[in-house]
Structure 1
Amino acid sequence: MSLQPQAIPPVPEETSRVVHAAFPKGNRYMRMRDELGVFFSDQAFAHLYPHCGHAAQTPWRLALITIMQFAENLSDRQAAEAVRARIDWKYALSLELTDTGFDFSVLSEFRDRLRASGAEQQLLEIMLQAFQQKGLLKAHGRQRTDSTHVLAKVRDLTRLELIGETLRHTLNTIAKVEPDWLRAQVPDEWYDRYGKRLEEAQFPKTPPEWETLASKMGADGFRLLDAIYADETPTPIRALVAVETLRQVWLQQFYAPTSAIQLRATKDSPPGALRIRSPQDLEARYSAKRSTEWTGYKVHLTESCDDFMPRLLTHVETTEATTADQEAIPRIHQALKAKERAPHQHIVDQGYTSAHLLVHSQQGFGIDLLSPVARNSGWQAKAKDGFDLAHFEIDWKRKVVRCPNHKRSHLWTPGKDSYGKPIIHIEFKRSVCLKCPMRSQCTRSKEQPRNLTIKVQEEYQALEAARERQKTEEFKQAYAIRAGIEGTIAQGVRSFDLRQCRYIGLSKAHFQHIATAAAINLVRILAWLEGIPLAKTRRSHFAKLATANG
């Protein structure tokens, strides 16, 4: 389909007359159109379309429909029906009342175009630019971030279900492209064993029977892989994604085939970040946080939180479920800086912070990463009379450390920790340390001297400064605003189904989160324009009694 960018048409007179008669006080889409405009233009999406061919649906409408669709949590069919039947949607989209709309598949095609070109971020970015021009979003203000879990749009499979479903998925995929070859390879009993979906209720209940079935399916999978990688097998079969998935799952779940097919022990299994959880969604991963366990992804929401301004989502980061929060922070800062929207202060919880990030955020982006940091966890810090790291005097220039008894260190050795981050190992002479009268306050070792492992100077000093700052009343007051991001996550979950993937795969999940963020911003801006105040923290009647009694 081709595109010839056109100017945004005005609302047809008949549509305007009927809509204003039906909604004399207006509704949110009328207010959006009248006060905010339509945000998008065809020119912004022109690079997604060729210059010749059948005329395409105007992308500015499709972009706006997508946001309205997510604002009301509608399916593609429901959104297409709303375009055809709802007069307030026709008003927002400059459509005649007699317009018959379009086939719902146009919406999925538009999403595919956005994702294929990496332009999905424009749904949110163009809106934010419009809000910034209207003075509704402050540049270089304060922002806050938090994450929540997202469930993949696939079944949560047990280990035996994963093995059986992976083999069944591979057989179904090959049957589409090379049915004759597959018919010659599979025995008759496979049609009964893998002809329909495998569920836990169908499996044996005792461990010996369970292991026997797993070994039988494992042997079937190895047999199929041997046939696939035989010289005479058609090459297109080996190129199928399902075949590679089968190979990886069998490598993760079974030891190399011998006379007996054996499942891998847990200690020999790959880490969770690599382990496939479903043949339908190869990027979904299992993770757990406290009492919450899930298979899917994580979404990190970043929003503005300046006083007397609307709370607007400025960035969305979607990651695998096993990705640590600390890994997301540099990507968030880089994205915000590229859009000239980096905050001067970024408020996050402790999971997003490290000494390295405190330094990197300030030096690389000019961002003050405001967060609690871990206190010194050594027994010396917990003991009232113990000598923790704070009791040692570090001379960075001379690369010398003095202990509480004023003895100099013997060795200063740069190195790296298990994560590849630079650290410094410091040792004191054994002969001096063993004779020290304060030794019991310094180390519990009876034969070894006190050794220290510290961060490099910039990170060490940044961490110590953060520890001191979090003791102040100013920090407590500044950090209190972080709690508001919990309300944003709650709004996303309850009103926009944020924790449930609509689509399969990380890329599509990220698109959903971007569109959801844009929809949340639209709802919030309209509430702001209507003068609706932010909701206050709710407290139960019983909890209020405690305050009254105090």
Structure 2
Amino acid sequence: MSLRLQPPIPPVPEDTARVARAACRTGTRCLVLRDQLGTVFTDADFADLYPRRGQPAYAPWRLALVTLLQFREGLSDRQAAEAVRARIDWKYLLGLELADPGFDHSVLCEFRGRLLAGEATGRLLARVLDTAREGGLLKAGGRQRTDSTHVIAAVRDLNRVELVGETLRAALNAIASTEPDWLRAIASPVWHERYARRIEDMRLPEAGPKRDVYVAIVGTDGFHLLDALARPDAPPAAATLPAVEVLRRVWARHFDRVEGGDGGARLRPVQGRGPGDRVESPYDTDARFRAKSSTRWTGYMVHLTESCDEGAPRLVLHADTTPANVHEASRTAPIHAVLAAKGLTPAEHLVDSAYISADHLITAREQHGIDLVGPGRRNLSWQNHIEGAFSLDDFVLDRDRRVALCPEGKESTSWAEQPKQPGQRAFIRTQFRAADCRACGSRERCTRSRSGYQGRVLTFLPKREHEALAAARAREGTANGKSLYAKRQGVEGTLSQAVRAFGLRRARYRGLAKTGLQHASTAAALNLDRLAAWITGRPLAPTRVSSFARLAA
């Protein structure tokens, strides 16, 4: 496929316009967007994704609009292609003749593939934001807010036994597609019965010794296949297949070889499902498991950043997709960097405590001029939760003399500055003399050390970080600070709309890159919806109140 740039996009055909206005007398979202914002995209926006020679491609500006409409209405590729043929409002937005047959649904998949191959997954959202900026509806230096939600991967949750069995089956299928003759020669006849069907469709042995024997057999079969692939006569194409690499990773984590005998396998003890490089499915190796509060899922996290200035539409400026086990705090700096690259750096950025640290407060201010607003993480020590106990705030820190003074007038005897390590936070540790603490009448209010051989130990941040966090906490307690932070709650409504009307929480595709494209496209589609609402003066829907709740009013 090649792209041949056409002259300026022609207007909507007369017959299409006449029928659309007659059929949609009150107007629709598509009619408003075409009349007020034009086509949003042009072929030149995607020219670098197409070769110069080949059969002419379907107009990419139309495919971009169809992609956003598809995500807006939760349509499959086939349904979207059918809507192009059958819906008059879509034809009006796309500028098509009434009799235009549209295109084959596979063209949409190919278009997404070009966006992924050209690392242009954010181009759809960027062009929608440019359109809003050109219309005076979006400016830098305002107020923005960010929050996240979980995303469930498009794969089935597997227990440990199912994971190893399905991983081996996926590797066998991949090799059978590329090197069938070689696999036929080394595969045991019982493998066809054991791995011909999906593991979840089989009746696995009951838990106990029979299940353990089955798992050991699967592990032995996997090692047998990996050993065969490691021989010099093994086909190189089979040994480098992605499914085979997943098999190596899964077996390295879950199995040990049994020395001697027939070279069998033994299942390793459970290593947990927390943060790490654990593969949860052989069909989506980017998906990770996470437990957050009462929610447990396998998949991803998506962070949405939106504008929230008065007198302007609330537009999603960035959609950041990560594996589920990536913590929110690690995304604050990357989000700021992307906003700065887009020329949309905010003056105030409202976030919850998961995105806040002393380093974030300083870096956001010094590198981007951003006032990061949010509650600092709470001190979880018992002294901060018991009335009358001596917390860190009750001690006087004399940084010049490198000592701390306790409420009873005693000075600390040691002061150690821990150097900042990669991925770790710098801190200062000071300790009081054990003899002073043993003889102190306020000991029970200060330390719970039972041995009596250790005095009170204080751990705190360096001066800059300590002051930045203290200032954030002080503002949090003021009326103005509470009023400002209350505006962050609006982003939860955006997440709710994206989840319920746009299917944000369920991945349509497998893999981090494709899921990221889905979220960027969903953000762009949500912006088109909000721009149409802003242009037509449609107000935000009020919060629903139940009949019983209204009785109290």
Q: TM-score range with shorter-chain normalisation? A: over 0.9
Contact 1:80–1:102 (Cα < 8 Å) also in 2: yes
Give SS of 1:300's match.
strand
Give the letter for the 2:468 counterpart.
A
Describe the superposition over 1:164-204 as per-residue Cα deviations: whole angstroms up to 9, x where unpaired. Answer: 11111111111111111111111111111111111176112
Describe the superposition over 1:126-180 as per-residue Cα deviations: whole angstroms up to 9, x where unpaired. Answer: 1111112212223211111111111111111111111111111111111111111
Range 200-209 or range 161-170, more displaced: 200-209
Distance 2:74 2:55 in 1: 31
What displacement does 1:543 show? 3.4
- Aligned pairs (5 A) from 1:58-137: 58-137=59-138
Moved over 6 A (4+): none
Corresponding residue to 2:432 among 428, 431, 435: 428
Show the counterpart of 2:139: 138
Distance 1:226 1:375 in 2: 52
Unaligned runs of 5+ in 1: none
Range 13-22 or range 411-420, more displaced: 411-420
Counterparts in 2 of 1:200 and 1:373: CA distance versus 1, 3 Å? farther
Give SS of 1:266's match.
coil
Give SS of 2:317's match.
strand
Contact 2:41–2:127 (Cα < 8 Å) also in 1: yes
Give the letter for the 2:474 counterpart.
E
Counterparts in 2 of 1:543 and 1:356: CA distance versus 1, 3 Å? farther
Give the letter for the 1:277 counterpart.
E
Contact 1:222–1:257 (Cα < 8 Å) also in 2: no
Corresponding residue to 1:294 among 280, 283, 297: 297
Contact 1:375–1:467 (Cα < 8 Å) also in 2: no
Distance 1:374 1:244 in 2: 40
Give the letter for the 1:524 counterpart.
R
Corresponding residue to 2:354 among 319, 336, 351: 351
Matched-pair identity in %: 49
Contact 2:273–2:289 (Cα < 8 Å) also in 1: no
Show the counterpart of 1:519: 525
Give the letter for the 1:407 counterpart.
K
What displacement does 1:431 show? 4.2
State yes or no: 1:340 paired with 2:343: yes
Corresponding residue to 1:412 among 390, 412, 415: 415
Distance 1:293 1:376 in 2: 26
Distance 1:294 1:440 in 2: 43
Give the letter for the 1:266 counterpart.
V
Distance 1:12 1:270 in 2: 58
Contact 1:302–1:315 (Cα < 8 Å) also in 2: yes
Show the counterpart of 1:214: 215
Corresponding residue to 1:377 among 380, 404, 410: 380
Describe the superposition over 1:374-405 as per-residue Cα deviations: whole angstroms up to 9, x where unpaired. Answer: 33322222232221110111233443322223
Distance 1:164 1:440 in 2: 56
Show the counterpart of 1:474: 480
Corresponding residue to 1:399 among 382, 397, 402: 402
Give SS of 1:199's match.
helix
Range 238-247 or range 428-437, more displaced: 428-437
Counterparts in 2 of 1:150 and 1:270: CA distance versus 1, 3 Å? closer
Distance 2:382 2:289 in 1: 34
Structure 1 vs Structure 2 CA RMSD: 1.8
Range 160-169 or range 97-106, more displaced: 97-106
Give SS of 2:482's match.
helix
Give the letter for the 2:66 counterpart.
I
Show the counterpart of 1:534: 540
Distance 1:270 1:29 in 2: 46
Distance 2:519 2:193 in 1: 41
User: How does the TM-score come out when normalised to structure 1?
Assistant: 0.95
What displacement does 1:270 show? 7.7
Distance 1:116 1:416 in 2: 42
Counterparts in 2 of 1:475 and 1:78: CA distance versus 1, 3 Å? same
Contact 1:252–1:270 (Cα < 8 Å) also in 2: no
Range 510-519 or range 233-242, more displaced: 233-242
Give SS of 2:296's match.
strand
Show the counterpart of 1:485: 491
What displacement does 1:271 show? 5.0
Contact 1:282–1:505 (Cα < 8 Å) also in 2: yes
Describe the superposition over 1:262-309 as per-residue Cα deviations: whole angstroms up to 9, x where unpaired. Answer: 211124x68543100111111011111122111111111111111222
Distance 1:208 1:146 in 2: 47
User: How does the TM-score come out when normalised to structure 2?
Assistant: 0.95
State yes or no: 1:441 paired with 2:445: yes
Contact 1:400–1:408 (Cα < 8 Å) also in 2: yes
State yes or no: 1:166 paired with 2:167: yes
Contact 2:274–2:289 (Cα < 8 Å) also in 1: no
Distance 1:439 1:228 in 2: 66
Give the letter for the 1:344 counterpart.
A
Unaligned runs of 5+ in 2: none
Show the counterpart of 1:454: 460
Describe the superposition over 1:89-108 as per-residue Cα deviations: whole angstroms up to 9, x where unpaired. Answer: 12111222222211111111
Distance 1:323 1:503 in 2: 20
What displacement does 1:407 show? 3.2
State yes or no: 1:20 paired with 2:24: no
Contact 2:274–2:290 (Cα < 8 Å) also in 1: no
- Aligned pairs (5 A) from 1:12-51: 12-51=13-52
Distance 2:436 2:507 in 1: 62
What displacement does 1:18 show? 2.3
Distance 1:122 1:378 in 2: 47
Contact 1:138–1:306 (Cα < 8 Å) also in 2: no
What displacement does 1:205 show? 2.1
What displacement does 1:85 show? 2.2
Show the counterpart of 1:390: 393
Contact 1:297–1:318 (Cα < 8 Å) also in 2: yes
Give SS of 1:262's match.
strand
Contact 2:357–2:376 (Cα < 8 Å) also in 1: yes
Give SS of 2:257's match.
coil
Distance 1:271 1:19 in 2: 54
Distance 1:126 1:498 in 2: 20
Distance 1:86 1:387 in 2: 70
What displacement does 1:119 show? 1.1
Give the letter for the 1:225 counterpart.
L
Show the counterpart of 2:156: 155
Contact 2:356–2:377 (Cα < 8 Å) also in 1: no
Distance 1:235 1:391 in 2: 67
Show the counterpart of 2:469: 463
